[in-house]
Amino acid sequence: MAVAAEKAYELLKQRVIAGAYAPGAQLKEEHIARELAISRTPIRAALKRLVQDGLATADAGRGVRVSEWTEFDIQETYELRGLLEGHAAELATRRGGAALADRLDELNARMERALAKGGDSMAGQLQEINAQFHRAILEASGSPRLRAMLAGLIDMPIVIRSYFISTRQDLVQSLHHHRDLAAAVRIGDPQLARQVMQLHLKVAAHRFGLRRSEFSGTQWPGATTARRRTAA
């Protein structure tokens, strides 16, 4: 049962993050169990974990639903990331050394190539590279507590979907910040790394606020594709 619950959780988490379910959509235990051809018990456990992760809510009379995000939720998410990831960047600079700087430079080069190539898949590629960049810093921090606190915030649907409503100028600016972070790690300046990370996330929050009206009430362009893929 534990294995089935874990597999169901991972699949449902991917679907929620990918936007295959609309914000506020009900996740019906019976329907999902029938679709995945497993019993309702592991589905119930998977849905409970989604609620614990903040990806879903459970209210009496309304069932389990995909989380909807208020302006306060968005602001709080970015503020928490600024505090925690700023600390992670400082620790990572002290502990990561040249190996971390090399890894960040590699990811930045991939991001630059994806931007130059463009195309319909660009936003998805950039989002994945961005997640790898932030996780590399988090891993290099060497702090299990930070990893536990930040893992969910980095993968929040609202954070991931923000990439799909960014302009090219937004994306180029984000790459510049990533390069500045890699440079701070390279020269071994922990305070600079913290400041750049906090600036990076503060700008990201401001940028998302500007694009909010375009995103509100819609799904990112990859949602239809994601829905087809997860249904296969």
pLDDT in tens, 42-71: 999 999 999 987 788 998 888 999 988 777
Per-residue DSSP letters for 122-152?
Answer: HHHHHHHHHHHHHHHHHHHTT-HHHHHHHHH
Q: What pLDDT was estimated at residue 25?
A: 92
What gap in Å lies between CA 84 and CA 146, rounded to an integer?
7
Q: What pLDDT was estimated at residue 213?
A: 56
Q: What pLDDT was estimated at residue 163?
A: 72
Q: What pLDDT was estimated at residue 214?
A: 55
For residue 218, which of 69, 27, 22 has the smallest C-alpha distance?
A: 22
Q: What pLDDT was estimated at residue 225?
A: 36
Q: What pLDDT was estimated at residue 219?
A: 38
Question: Which domains does the chain carry?
Answer: 2-68 (1.10.10.10), 71-215 (1.20.120.530)
What gap in Å lies between CA 107 and CA 175, rounded to an integer?
10
Q: What pLDDT was estimated at residue 212?
A: 62
Query: Do residues 25 and 31 make contact, with C-beta atoms less than 8 angstroms apart?
Result: no
* Tens digit of each residue's pLDDT (9 = 90 or more) over 151-171: 778 777 667 767 767 889 999
Q: What pLDDT was estimated at residue 232?
A: 25
In this prediction, the residues of the chain whose per-residue pLDDT falls under 70 are 1, 17-19, 157-158, 161, 164, 212-232
